[in-house]
Amino acid sequence: MSQYILQDDKENIHIIKINRAPDNFIKLPVLEELGSALDSVGSHHFYDGLILMSALDNIFISGHEIFDLGEEENERKIKKNTRLIAELLLSIQRLNIPTLTLINGHCVGFGLELALCTDFRIAVDDDITIGFPDIKLGTFPPFGGIYRLVQLIGETKAKELLLKGRLLKPQTAAEWGLIDGVSVRENILEDAEKMLKGISRHASLALTAIKRSIVDSTLKDFMTVVQEDLDDYITIIHSQDYAEGKKALGENRSPVFKQR
């Protein structure tokens, strides 16, 4: 029985809800359960689409517990776990059915990395934030998020988000092309289902071929780039500045980086 992943079917749309109260901080057990759920979706030949969302009211995903990826002194374990996470995210992108992330709360850091793996994203029209504040912790999104972000919104806007750690409100995120629309909370799940149903009416063989071609064309050099990102990430999490970033976060203060 899953502890962190809730699943439901509604009119042939499969819904996966991430449920790790109180803030959906992601740990490896959550990702393992998510991987199992995705394997089940991938082996089911009759789903019309997949919706990924949070089971919590005002948080989609608030980040991931980086120190849980493996003991920081055990580099081999870190490399193994980070690679597994990158491949899990890629498996979402490669699903042969239309996929959508329903952003029903704050979506930052790893939350946005996850959302960028689906075909579409819609957000609740509330006072929530979307973005990559990783730079303020002294790190960056290492699992392919930068590559996907640049593909989606272009280099200039990607730099604005990544180098400044800027967080966007849903309407601005939609204007930037980061998400595909906003909806009131009461209607957002229905709107997500309608979007996927509208797509799934088309011929499934053509849909599958189009998705495969898009993924292949956009990710031609993806794993090369991601491997370099993961190597940089491993260096960063052994740095003094990263340790300071973690400490400052725990103490609710601004970090004082020493550039080493």
Q: Is the pLDDT of residue 53 over 70?
A: yes
Per cent of the chain over pLDDT 90 is 52
Task: Domain ranges for the chain, please list them.
Answer: 5-186
Q: State the pLDDT confidence band at 66, using cuts at 50, 70 and 90.
A: low
Q: CB–CB of 108/130 below 8 Å? A: yes
Summarised one tens digit per residue, pLDDT across range 12-37 is 899 999 999 998 988 888 999 999 99
Alpha helical stretches, state H, the chain: 28-43, 75-93, 110-115, 145-153, 155-164, 170-176, 188-200, 204-218, 222-236, 240-250
Of the options 3.30.70.3400, 3.90.1580.10, 3.40.50.880, 3.90.226.10, the CATH number for the domain spanning 5-186? 3.90.226.10
Give the global pTM: 0.86
Selection from 2, 83, 8, 97 nearest residue 45 by Cα = 97
- For residue range 138-177, what is the model confidence (pLDDT) as tens digits? 889 989 999 999 999 999 999 999 999 999 999 999 999 9
pLDDT band at 135 (very low <50, low <70, confident <90, very high): very high
pLDDT tens by residue, 195-240: 998 988 877 778 888 888 888 777 767 777 777 787 877 787 778 8
Which two three-digit tokens encode residue 4?
């962190």
